[in-house]
Amino acid sequence: MGFLTDLIERLDRDLHEHPLDDLALMARASSMPPVRDLEGALRAAAPPALIAEVKRASPSAGVIAEQANPSVLARGYEAGGAAAISVLTEPRHFHGSLADLQAARSSVSVPVLRKDFLIHPSQVIEARASGADAVLLIVAALTDTQLRALMEAARDLGLAALVETHSEEDLRRALDTDATIVGVNARDLESLDVDVAGALARVGRVPEDRIAVLESGITTRADVDAAMEAGASAILVGEALMRADDPARAVRKLLWRELST
C-alpha cells in the first residue's frame, strides 16, 4: 500500500470515529479576522510568486526542524518577500498542528494556507476556524464529487483553494473544475519519488488565466528559473527554506533579490 492510500484510509476512519463538530467550528470561524486574498497576492507578486512553507518534518526527508518556531519562520519568509505562507498541519508524518497555523497567521500580513490532507468539508471549516485563508486540496486523494464539494465548502467560507496535482490524470481532473490556483507537484504521493522533469512538462499545460504553482524539488535559483521557463507563475518551497539559518535571506536569494556570497 502506498503512502497516500494508507494515510487517507486512516484519516477517513479517524473522522468517522471522531467526527468534527461543525456547529462549534462555524461559530469559531465566524469570529475570525477577514480572509486574506491568496489569489490576489500571488497575481500581484513579482514573478515568481513564492509560497514559503513551515514544515517540521516529512515522510521523505524525516525530521527537518522539529523545534522550529512557526511565528519566527513566517515573519522571516514575509520579510524576504514571500507572497504567502503554507503551514503543514498534519501531525503523524509532518509533525504539524493547527497551533502552528494559528501562530504563523497571527505573525504576518500575507495569506496563510493550511496544507494537509483534506477529505471532508468539516476539515475546511476547521481550517477557517483556525485562521486559514486558503486550503490545499489534493486531487489524488479525492473523487471528483469530493473535490467539488470541498471547493464549494472553501468558496462558501471565502477561502481560496490550491488544487494540487501529481500526474497527467490529476491535472486533467483539476482543469475540468473552475480551480484558479493549480498546483503541479513533482512528488509521487504513493512512492514519494520526485520527478521534476515530469512536473516541468505538466506545469506548462496549465492555462495562462490560472495560476500554475510548481511544488517539490525546488532548492536553487536554477530550479526557480527552470520553473518559470516551463510556465510556472508561482512556486511552493518548504524543505530548502526550513534548513536555512536565515529564512528571510534564503527567500531573497531564491527569488534573486540578494546576490550569493
Residues assigned a catalytic role: 53, 55, 115, 164, 185, 215-216
Distance CA 53, CA 113 (A): 9
**Furthest-apart CA atoms within the chain: distance in Å:** 54
Cis omega (within 30 of 0) for bond into 48? yes
> End-to-end alpha-carbon separation of the chain, Å?
45
Distances, alpha carbon 176 to alpha carbons 18, 34, 151, 210, 251, in Å: 33, 29, 13, 12, 33
Q: Is 11 left (phi over 0), alpha (psi -120 to 50) or beta?
A: alpha
Q: Is residue 207 within 8 Å of 231, Cβ to Cβ?
A: no
Which segments within 160-248 are labelled E, that is strand?
160-165, 181-185, 211-215, 234-237
How do strand 112-115 and strand 84-88 relate by DSSP bridges? Answer: parallel
Q: Residue 16: how many CB atoms within 10 A of its CB?
A: 9
Distances, alpha carbon 95 to alpha carbons 88, 89, 223, 257, in Å: 8, 7, 27, 31
